[in-house]
Amino acid sequence: MSQMQSVEKQLRQMILGLEIGPGEKLTERWIESRFGASRTPVRAALLRLETEGLVGRDGRGWTVSPINLAELEQIAVYREAVEVAALRLSCGLVDRSAVDVIEAMLESCDKDTPREEWHRVGMDFHIELARLSGNDFLFRAVRDAMTRLSRARWLEVRNEAALSRAWAEHRAILAAARVGDADEAARLLSGHIVGSRERLVTSLANDRRGLRARGFAVVPA
Amino acid sequence: MSQMQSVEKQLRQMILGLEIGPGEKLTERWIESRFGASRTPVRAALLRLETEGLVGRDGRGWTVSPINLAELEQIAVYREAVEVAALRLSCGLVDRSAVDVIEAMLESCDKDTPREEWHRVGMDFHIELARLSGNDFLFRAVRDAMTRLSRARWLEVRNEAALSRAWAEHRAILAAARVGDADEAARLLSGHIVGSRERLVTSLANDRRGLRARGFAVVPA
DNA sequence: AGTACCATATTGGTATCCCAACTTGGTATC
DNA sequence: GATACCAAGTTGGGATACCAATATGGTACT
């Protein structure tokens, strides 16, 4: 693997894992020494992460993108459009057996599963469902949206009730998709996304003070 | 403007204007000498254009992305999802006066208008309509999709009949949006996108031999 | 003539150097 | 004590040098 890919991957992981806080300043030279690479691959990695929305420019320098509540709301609308479109396509497929693979993914989480795993599977559910459509653009749109939502959702997975509710909704969506009921699946997915957004934004808005105290920049809606 | 932005802009213009043919190989050193910049900004520009899908990696090197008919079909599905979502949002706005600005844009094209302008306005119609929704993600999705479609559409604008048909459909969409009839506007827009895709892919598939003769790589659906 | 092989040129990946713009911290002045 | 100002350090943008991998073209041998 090239240094650029290595730096990109590690830096993304640190940002998504909140090892570098939202809103924190980054310098190319710090990344350079942190990962033992020179500035050329570091700059390349930053340019890519910028297009993912994980880092942004702050004047001349670089900043880890803050958690942006207004952005979270817009992403939810965007997600709804692309995920529903992908799901409708999938419901029209003759072979929808991949639904079972996704269901198995959900079932792999039980009470002993670490939080990180719940978090990852919760995102992968949506990503894999989109991949099933066979449309690369819809798939990438969902994957990128989930990446942007990742940190905000991570701050939320402590909530047991929300998780079990989400899993129930996920199963219901799969059940509708399995029998090819596109309208019902779409309705359930829309509801799930809208509901998730409301709970997420409310929760973060309430926690905002606490998050800022931990050094996490959170810009209001 | 930084060299990176300058190189990115000029290179994008050359690719979209077909001055560099789809499928052509690019070397960083050629770009370097062509635009009088050093490799640092050249590499940065290539990395950004890669995320736009205008250039891609070919093993170790760089290639201008070929025209890909399968991709065009997938983009149409993607566009339909995001553009319809944006249009429905726009129809729900209380102030839809911006529709008139878009209409004026359409009207600025007459028989004396050069082809390039028709081409640009035809794309900007969709982009501005998406911007009107106020959702940045839907807007960027449409803008990026139109960028990817740009070259294929350029090979098509010679067709007078298709243009006047497209303009009529554009006007009808605006008329429905103006009175806030979201369902009708969405129906018209869906039809417009599906129809455009069919005509575009058919036309390019027929021209494929001729395009390859001009050195343009066209990969079939 | 065909083919296997090697020297050479070219390429992208990386490291490093320089520079102008900007920050920062201290200092002299009022 | 406040403020205007300046010097030193830091930063991102750019240029260039170097390297390993690959492509290329010619050559010797069959």
Among residues A112, A77, A105, which one has the least CA distance to residue A193?
Answer: A77
Distance (Å) from the C-alpha of residue A3 to the closest C-alpha of chain B? 14
Cβ neighbourhood burial of B142 (10 Å; 0-12, 13-18, 19+): buried
Same domain, B138 and B200: yes
Same domain, A191 and A125: yes
Given a cut of 90, whether residue B130 has pLDDT beyond it is yes
Given a cut of 80, whether residue B157 has pLDDT beyond it is no
Same domain, A19 and A124: no
Q: A95 in a domain, yes or no?
A: yes
Chain A residues touching B77 at Cβ < 8 A? 85, 89, 135, 137-138
CATH code, A27: 1.10.10.10
Q: Is A97 on the interface with B (CB under 8 A)?
A: no
Nearest CA in chain B to A145: B137
Q: B45 in a domain, yes or no?
A: yes
Chain B residues touching A40 at Cβ < 8 A? 40, 43
Same domain, B100 and B167: yes
CB atoms within 10 A of CB A178: 16
**Residue at which a domain ends, from B24, B44, B66:** B66
Q: How far apart are CA B141 and CA B149, in angstroms?
A: 12
Largest alpha-carbon pair distance within chain A?
A: 55
Predicted pLDDT at A136: 98
Given a cut of 80, whether residue B179 has pLDDT beyond it is yes
Chain A residues touching B51 at Cβ < 8 A? 48, 51
Question: Could you read off the pLDDT of A58-101 as tens digits, one per residue?
Answer: 989 999 999 999 999 999 999 999 999 999 999 999 999 999 99
B158 pLDDT band, cuts 50/70/90, is confident
Joined together, the tokens standing for residue B150 give 């740009």
Decide the pairing of beta strands B67-68 and B55-58: unpaired
Same domain, B154 and B91: yes
Same domain, A127 and A83: yes
Same domain, B161 and B61: no
Q: B23 in a domain, yes or no?
A: yes
Q: A219 in a domain, yes or no?
A: no
Question: Could you read off the pLDDT of A196-216 as tens digits, one per residue?
Answer: 999 999 999 999 999 999 989
Q: A211 in a domain, yes or no?
A: no
Closest-approach nucleotide to residue B39, Cα vs C1' = D15
Q: B221 in a domain, yes or no?
A: no
Same domain, B62 and B114: no
- Residue B212 contacts strand C, CB under 7 A: no
Q: A218 in a domain, yes or no?
A: no
Predicted pLDDT at B92: 96
Among residues A96, A188, A173, A172, which one has the least CA distance to residue A133?
Answer: A96
Among residues A64, A63, A76, which one has the least CA distance to residue A13?
Answer: A64
Same domain, A73 and A61: no
Q: Is B82 on the interface with A (CB under 8 A)?
A: yes
Same domain, B60 and B91: no
Among residues B168, B169, B186, which one has the least CA distance to residue B177?
Answer: B186
**How many independent structural domains does chain A possess?**
2
Cβ density class B56-93: b for 16+ within 10 Å, e for less: eeeeeebbbbbbbbebbbbbbbbbbbbbbbbbbbbbee
Query: Which of B71, B137, B139 is the mutation pick for testing A, counting most A CBs within 10 A?
Result: B137
Nearest CA in chain B to A42: B44
Whether the CB-CB separation of A49 and A12 falls below 8 Å is answered with yes
Question: Could you read off the pLDDT of B12-53 as tens digits, one per residue?
Answer: 999 999 999 999 999 999 999 999 999 999 999 999 999 999
Among residues B8, B9, B25, B23, which one has the least CA distance to residue B216?
Answer: B23
Whether the CB-CB separation of A67 and A211 falls below 8 Å is answered with yes
Given a cut of 90, whether residue A3 has pLDDT beyond it is yes
Given a cut of 80, whether residue B180 has pLDDT beyond it is yes
Same domain, A125 and A196: yes
Sheet of B61-64, strand order: B25-26, B61-64, B55-58
Joined together, the tokens standing for residue B175 give 């008329």
Chain A residues touching B43 at Cβ < 8 A? 40, 44
Which residues constitute the domain of residue A95? 69-206
Same domain, B73 and B159: yes
Asked which of A156-165, B117-126, B147-156, B160-169 is least confident by mean pLDDT, the reply is A156-165
- Residue B3 contacts strand D, CB under 7 A: yes
Q: B181 in a domain, yes or no?
A: yes
